[in-house]
Amino acid sequence: MRSTILVAGSLNLDFVAGVCRLPEPGQTVTGTSFEMIPGGKGANQACAAGTMARRKAPAEPGDAVRVEMAGCVGRDEAGEMLLRSLAGAGVAAEAVGRVDGVATGAAMINVDASGQNTIVVIPGANARFAPSDVDSLRGRLRECAWLLLQLETPLGTVEALLRAARQEGARTMLDPAPAQPLARGLLSMVDILTPNETEACLLLERAPRRVGLEDAPDLARSLRALGPRAVVLKLGDAGCFYSGPEGEQSAPAFAVRAVDATAAGDTFNAGLAVALSEGLPVAGALRFANASAAVSVTRKGAQTSAPERDDVERLLSTGRI
């Protein structure tokens, strides 16, 4: 049985300022804290999958979920920090290239007192993750159960990876973040598309708005009509909604005290992939993914908020962190 999760995507060093409130355009505000934290949507998914996968005793010898990361960092201290963070989460990083002459990706993040954030990403080495790198990943794709992708690396590379995954028999989960328009040809190679409400509206060329559970079926069906086999809409504190070959269902969010929403969506995807790789049915996998994201928002930072397996299990069984 295939039991590897391969995450292909971005690695960023996050420069995180705590603020009482997010600045308006043209406004200067005084920060309350500053930290440098390993991040990047791809590496966040890999680290969270790694920490959640490693506590589970395999049902059969050899069934443990293994997590690998592919992408690019620069030859600098930020790149070293990101590789150390992956190693600490038990993620194999042999497919992360070190690129000369370019800095590791960076993100400028402001987090306000309610845990909401704004993020500016400077791609750096992530922009060097090229379609020509995909051939060297074919062997890994042949072994893997799930390929996890996001949109902080070149779109041509995402497309080449989706095509290669299809040819090598790996299932694909695409987080269409940061939001950008996507062609039907690309979307039709996706097994599970996991947009939040902003990304869903942009893909459908609709005006951005808050989406509640009542709007979710129409939105998810419209997205499926663009090509993906299944859609999981991430609805924040309204939980999530699935539409796919297994029917339609929602799963409520867990009520927790949020301190920082950074990487909540990345952690959700990691939880979903871990649960599906372990053979959970859709309902259980959605619940596990919601619990993963809930644990992450109670902690500060991106990879610093990756939950351990025990944290998720405790929330699932007691409803408490």
User: Residues interacting with ligand RIB, by CB under 6 A?
Assistant: 10, 12, 14, 39-41, 44, 107, 119, 121, 152, 262-263, 266, 302
DSSP string, 89-120: TT-EEEEEEEETTSPPEEEEEEE-TTS-EEEE
Closest to ligand RIB by CB, 44 or 172:
44
Q: Nearest CA to 253 among 307, 281, 224, 212?
A: 212
State in angstroms the smallest separation of the CB of 214 from ligand RIB.
27
Closest to ligand RIB by CB, 107 or 160:
107
State in angstroms the smallest separation of the CB of 150 from ligand RIB.
8
Closest to ligand RIB by CB, 72 or 263:
263
Report the residue closest to ligand RIB, judged by CB: 39
Sheet with 12-19, strands from edge to edge, namely 31-39, 12-19, 105-111, 117-122
Closest to ligand RIB by CB, 119 or 258:
119
Round to whole Å and give the CA distance between 149 and 179.
13
Closest to ligand RIB by CB, 172 or 303:
303
Contact 40, 12 (CB under 8 A): yes
Round to whole Å and give the CA distance between 90 and 3.
15
Contact 85, 43 (CB under 8 A): yes
- HSE-CB at 274 with a 13 A cutoff on CA atoms is 35
State in angstroms the smallest separation of the CB of 117 from ligand RIB.
8
Q: How many CB atoms lie within 10 A of CB 102?
A: 17
Closest to ligand RIB by CB, 187 or 264:
264
Q: Which of 63, 266, 310, 311 is catalytic?
A: 266
Tell me what percent of the chain is helix, strand and coil, each rounded to the nearest 5: 40, 25, 35
Round to whole Å and give the CA distance between 164 and 162.
6
Round to whole Å and give the CA distance between 227 and 186.
8
Does residue 193 sit in helix, strand or coil?
Answer: strand
State in angstroms the smallest separation of the CB of 183 from ligand RIB.
23
Sorted by sequence, the CB contacts under 8 Å of residue 110 that are 6+ apart come out as 16, 17, 19, 22, 23, 31, 117, 118
Task: Decide if 100 is catalytic.
Answer: no
Q: What is the CA radius of gyration of the chain?
A: 18
State in angstroms the smallest separation of the CB of 87 from ligand RIB.
18
State in angstroms the smallest separation of the CB of 33 from ligand RIB.
16
Closest to ligand RIB by CB, 81 or 119:
119
To the nearest 10 degrees (0 to 180), the angle between helices 309-318 and 282-297 is 110
State in angstroms the smallest separation of the CB of 293 from ligand RIB.
11
Residues annotated as part of the active site = 266
